């Protein structure tokens, strides 16, 4: 069964090739497509089983990180995006892609409130670009893309605007109760901790969110940068080399989810 994956790129995107490789290794047939081709109708979202918005600096992060691409998707591709999400097919936003998803309102995407912006990703508390390895703690298993992930695992971050800020503390509590807070920053033992473990000062240590249905996931750390083991700085210290890095599991789960969706439809 062929699973077609769309990797949306634009000026400033710089993680699309690694993301496409991860999808291909997971069994999908990736297609890196400039967003303008979607706007012109040369390519259609509905022809794909997976959509990923990868990391980078879309449109130079003008105005704010991910804001220009978010506006483009919201104003030019809103209907096909809404149809894609409501169909149950998987959509992933990584780093800049996560910024895009929250700034066009696809996340947290509460029922009946699609495209309403209620959270954002702001400038890091450190006031600088943070490029480091971080640890993520799985806070919820609501999203099917986390299946098989360890409870705590390392992924790298590389961003200047990754601080998660909800509209209120009560709204964050509601997201947590619904299981939409998928990942939290933690130390190597899974304990919630401040900087540098929380690299940006995210409120509630939030590192990743999903929508209520679980088929839309956004996270600041980069799973495609730990898709094979020697991407990790400690890989030579391992007594046994795994076939893939821990981040690969997310792509593998997405492809499996897309296959199951195709079988049902």
Which sign, positive or negative, has the C-alpha torsion 173, 175, 177, 180? negative
Transcribe 135-176 into DSSP letters: EEEE----SGGGTT--SEEEEEEEESS-EEEES-HHHHHHHH
Active site residue 224: yes
Catalytic residue among 224, 226, 232, 257: 224
Catalytic residue among 159, 205, 222, 232: 222
Quick count: other Cβ atoms within 10 Å of Cβ 186? 23
Residue with tokens 């309102």: 105
Helix/strand/coil (H, E, C) string of 227-241? CCHHHCCCHHHCCCC
Q: Are the C-beta atoms of 37 and 45 separated by less than 8 Å?
A: no
In residues, how long is the chain? 265
Residues carrying an active site annotation? 95, 222, 224
């Amino acid at each position: 069964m062929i699973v077609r994956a769309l990797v949306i790129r634009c000026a400033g995107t710089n993680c699309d090739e690694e993301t496409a490789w991860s999808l291909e290794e997971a069994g999908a047939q990736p297609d890196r497509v400039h967003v303008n081709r979607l706007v012109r109708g040369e390519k259609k979202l509905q022809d794909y089983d997976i959509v990923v918005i990868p990391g980078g600096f879309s449109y130079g992060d003008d105005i704010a990180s991910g804001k220009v691409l978010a506006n483009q998707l919201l104003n030019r591709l809103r209907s096909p995006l809404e149809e894609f999400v409501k169909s149950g097919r998987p959509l992933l936003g990584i780093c800049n892609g996560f910024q895009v998803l929250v700034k066009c309102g696809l996340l947290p995407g509460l029922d009946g409130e699609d495209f309403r912006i209620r959270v954002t990703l702001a400038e890091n508390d450190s006031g600088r670009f943070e490029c480091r390895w971080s640890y993520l703690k799985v806070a919820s298993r609501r999203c099917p893309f986390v299946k098989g992930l360890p409870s705590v695992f390392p992924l790298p971050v590389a961003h200047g605007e990754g601080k998660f800020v909800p509209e209120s503390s009560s709204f964050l509590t509601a997201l947590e109760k619904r299981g939409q807070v998928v990942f939290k920053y933690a130390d190597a033992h899974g304990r919630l901790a401040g900087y540098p473990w929380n690299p940006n000062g995210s409120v509630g240590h939030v590192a990743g969110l999903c929508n209520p249905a679980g088929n839309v996931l956004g996270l600041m750390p980069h799973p495609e940068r730990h898709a094979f083991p020697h991407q990790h700085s400690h890989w030579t210290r391992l007594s046994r080399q795994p076939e893939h890095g821990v981040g690969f599991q997310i792509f593998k789960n997405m492809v499996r989810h897309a296959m199951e969706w195709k079988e049902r439809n």
